[in-house]
Amino acid sequence: MADEGVQRKIPVEKNINWVADDPRTTPSKFEFEENFPEDLWTDIEIPGHADWEVRIPGAKQRICTTFKNGGFPMYQIAFEHMGLRLPFTDLEMAIFNHLEVCPSQLHPNSLAFIRAFEIVAAYLQLAPTVSLFFHIFGIQRSCPRGNVTDKCGWVSLKQHKKFFDIFEESLWGFKDKWYVIRPITSAGWKTILVRGPKVDDEGRVQHRDDGEPIEVDCERFPFCWSKRHYAREAKSFTFRKGALSKEELADL
């Protein structure tokens, strides 16, 4: 399945000069390997499935490049050390959508927090909701090299009250260990696309001549980097205690 007719969650940014120097200028180390890299981690999906593939990016491509054919960039550390597996869970996709970022825009430590929250919620039989998650976690944005006022780096999660330890092991050197992930089966595609109404650049639903909405394949979460997240104040993503449901309050 090609993605020419796929509706993006967030409009593609043709100019990536707004991206901080590190993600914008760091090529993938795997692109320079002559042979199949021994340290390439390809265990990216739940056992028993073969719906995804790892693709090595080109020399001019970066983690913030927009990729085609359902591809999106991921840091290897997310799978190798953080334990993420495809397809993403409903909560993981909901978090990406709430923050208006693609997965690689989140600092790897933040992906570890998401996994830890999911594991604890499953163990305690709690409902892992976005509002409960963003009551526990707030947003912290990196101070990138270069022109700080104009450039945007990774987005990080910070705990308002310490529940989880920060993942520190093997974080060093993650920036150049990245590749592109894409679905290769119908089952894989169905986990990242959903049918929905076609909208224009201003968010207005488009209709057919008979008045019915035009339906298209839509991304279930952002596939590419975007500065839309940074247009909002960090505190706008969090939920105060008064915004939680009775069930969520009971789970605190």
Paired tokens of 211? 């008045």
Paired tokens of 155? 């987005």
pLDDT in tens, 162-178: 777 666 655 778 999 99
Question: Domains of the chain: which residue ranges?
Answer: 21-251
pLDDT in tens, 181-212: 999 999 999 999 999 998 887 778 899 999 89
How do beta strands 178-183 and 155-159 pair? unpaired
Paired tokens of 182? 């894409």
With beta carbons less than 8 A apart as the criterion, state whether 136 and 157 touch: no
Mean pLDDT of the chain: 88
Residues 130 and 213: their CA atoms lie apart, in Å, by 29
With beta carbons less than 8 A apart as the criterion, state whether 19 and 64 touch: yes
Indicate the burial class of 96 (C-beta count within 10 angstroms; 0-12, 13-18, 19 or more): buried
Confidence of residue 15 (pLDDT cuts 50, 70, 90): confident
- What was the pLDDT predicted at 39? 82
Predicted TM-score (pTM) of the model is: 0.89
Give 199's DSSP letter. Answer: B
Indicate the burial class of 64 (C-beta count within 10 angstroms; 0-12, 13-18, 19 or more): buried
